[in-house]
Structure 1
Amino acid sequence: MENVDYTSTFISVAPDTSAVAGVEPVGSTIAAATFSLIASAPYALRSSDVIFRVWASRHGVSADSPDEWAAFYATPHACLRSSDLGKRYGWGIHADADGRLAVYAVGSSEYAALADGVAPDGSTVVVRAAMRSSRR
């Protein structure tokens, strides 16, 4: 299985983002579905859960099917560093020590602490930037 899960990591916004605040994505986009899953249940899902559930929903597949999960992860998939949440919409994604996710808006005090490497519980996190939208 392709490992797209992070632990004790904060994915900050991309270096080339123009976002100055977190904006909730709307519509039937992948970013909106990803945001909805994470924001509606902070620290409940891992990256692999979110990525698979978004794909399953968009393809009319049961998100509870172990066979579909195995087939999906039989090939590589991009991690959440490539998500528009950090590239366009101004959201950082924190994965706790168990890999469970929450989102934090750029410009918030929580985001600033995480970007400095300190999780809400005071533990240390590795800070990784979301992928740039454009090549240098």
Structure 2
Amino acid sequence: MLWAFHKEPTGKFVAFTHISENTSSTFVSTDKAVVFDGALEAEVYVRGKKVTPQNFQHHTPMTVEDLDALLYNVESLSLCKGTGLDLSRYSPDCCLFLERKYRNSRCSNCSLKRTHLKKTEAQRLRRAAAKQKEPLKKQA
């Protein structure tokens, strides 16, 4: 339901894009795309980065059923939900999609980035609170 079809007028470029289910009133994103640029060889993109997961390498759909299966496999990818913090939505080294070894919905790089950002924010808040208390001590 979230797939769209795009065709360049000459037909040399055809793309299928998938809109993220995690959209909001201020942020809409295309999280997955399958692109055919002048050939039947499919290129798969996740969040704008070209990926070559094992099950998509050298995948050339020859029938509509093959294309349907490819889109289903791409749609089935479990994507990393990132840090969950607006300050830094994803780690620069985000793995993009999750392998089964991850217990939660974040890759290890985004989990580490989230932990780091939360610690940094907590330290900043403690320093700000301490600075607010300093003038009160000087007045007393």
Q: Would you call these one fold, judging by a TM-score over 0.5?
A: no
Q: TM-score, normalised by structure 2?
A: 0.21
Q: TM-score, normalised by structure 1?
A: 0.22
Q: Which has the higher contact order (CA 8 A, sep 6+)?
A: 1
